[in-house]
């Protein structure tokens, strides 16, 4: 019987994955190239610092730490401009219903995100109080696919990793959940998330019936 559900943030709770992509692409264009949507899949769930290193490698660009720090600040500034406009309407389909359903079912709820902007985003969306534990990029040292973020979340909830379900939109995040020995539910395409235990095209498919069958371990 599963006792907890750990949610990724960007791309699962809220449609901010597109803003990360736009902000990174704006930066890449200034460096003289563009990031494709296919390449962007490799950036999902990955920390800000690691994402920049990957992008610089794509552009064959070598920078000093000082130069990188400037780019990291610029990227976050662009991203913050996007998320400043966020409100409840940006929460992805079915997420509020699912959170309320889990609450009424006494299933623990945690956030497991690589983002350092997770808290202000949850506050803007008005759903922070629904989470029993929040683990984000400010307290995690090893980026997904390392399982640290999800293991920390399970620990905070006092639930064994094997009793946790993780909902993720990134291949690296699914890998992290699998390494933590948790059940992984991927949100997105089968091609990208082939490593997930279950794959749903988008969050609208997160029905009470689906979750109920997972929680009762009937699937
Ligand atoms: P920030 P998640 C991740 O959040 C994003 O998927 C990834 O694209 C981003 O680079 C990372 O957070 C860091 O975000 O720059 O806001 O600290 O999907 O793990 O919720
Ligand atoms: Mg994500």
Q: 11-48: per-residue pLDDT in tens?
A: 999 999 999 999 999 999 999 999 999 999 999 999 99
- Indicate if 8 belongs to the active site: yes
Pocket test for ligand 1, best of 48, 77, 81, 187 (most atoms within 8 A of CB): 48
Distance 10 CA to ligand 1 centre (A): 6
State the average pLDDT over residues 172-191.
Answer: 97
pLDDT exceeds 80 at position 68: yes
State the average pLDDT over residues 171-182.
Answer: 98
Domain ranges for the chain, please list them: 4-15+90-215, 17-83
Catalytic residue among 10, 132, 136, 169: 10
* Complete edge-to-edge strand list for the sheet that includes strand 133-135: 133-135, 108-112, 4-7, 164-168, 183-187, 198-200
pLDDT score at 218: 56
Percent of the chain whose predicted confidence (pLDDT) is above 90: 94
Distance 176 CA to ligand 1 centre (A): 14
Pocket test for ligand 1, best of 45, 124, 143 (most atoms within 8 A of CB): 45
Tokens of 93: 């389909």
Least confident of 76-85, 170-179, 207-216: 207-216
Which architecture does CATH list for 4-15+90-215? 3-Layer(aba) Sandwich (3.40)
Distance 126 CA to ligand 1 centre (A): 19
pLDDT score at 141: 93
Among 211, 215, 219, 218, smallest CA distance to 3 is for 215
pLDDT tens, position by position, 129-168: 999 999 999 999 998 999 999 999 999 999 999 999 999 9
Percent of the chain whose predicted confidence (pLDDT) is above 70: 99
pLDDT score at 217: 75
d(CA 132, CA 114): 18
The pTM for the full model equals: 0.93
pLDDT score at 11: 94
State the average pLDDT over residues 72-77.
Answer: 98
pLDDT exceeds 60 at position 219: no
Q: Write down how long the chain is.
A: 219
pLDDT tens, position by position, 103-115: 999 999 999 999 9
- Rounded to the nearest integer, the mean pLDDT of the chain is 96
- For tokens 């029905």, name the residue: 207
pLDDT band at residue 216 using 50, 70 and 90 as cut-offs: confident
Radius of gyration of the chain (CA): 17
Pick the CATH number of 17-83 from 3.40.50.700, 3.30.930.10, 2.40.37.10, 1.10.150.240: 1.10.150.240
Q: Which atom of ligand 1 is nearest to the CA of 116?
A: 17
Neighbour tally for 187: CB within 10 Å: 25
């Amino acid at each position: 019987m599963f006792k907890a559900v750990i949610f990724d943030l960007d791309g699962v709770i809220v449609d901010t994955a597109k803003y990360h992509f736009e902000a990174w692409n704006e930066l890449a264009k200034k460096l003289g190239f563009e990031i494709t949507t296919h390449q962007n899949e490799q950036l999902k769930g990955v920390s800000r610092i690691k994402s920049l290193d990957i992008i610089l490698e794509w552009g064959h660009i070598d920078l000093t730490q000082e130069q990188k720090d400037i780019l990291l600040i610029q990227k976050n500034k662009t991203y913050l401009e996007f998320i400043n406009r966020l409100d409840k309407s940006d929460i992805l389909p079915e997420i509020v219903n699912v959170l309320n359903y889990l609450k009424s079912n006494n299933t623990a709820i945690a956030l497991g995100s690589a983002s350092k902007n997770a808290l202000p985003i949850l506050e803007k969306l008005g759903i922070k109080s629904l989470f029993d534990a929040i683990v984000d990029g400010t307290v995690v040292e090893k980026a997904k696919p390392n399982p640290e973020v999800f293991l920390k979340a399970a620990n905070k909830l006092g639930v064994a990793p094997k009793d946790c379900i993780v909902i993720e939109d990134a291949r690296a995040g699914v890998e992290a959940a699998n390494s933590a020995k948790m059940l992984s539910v991927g949100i997105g395409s089968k091609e990208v998330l082939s490593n997930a235990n279950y794959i749903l095209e988008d969050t609208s498919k997160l029905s009470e019936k689906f979750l109920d069958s997972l929680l009762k371990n009937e699937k």
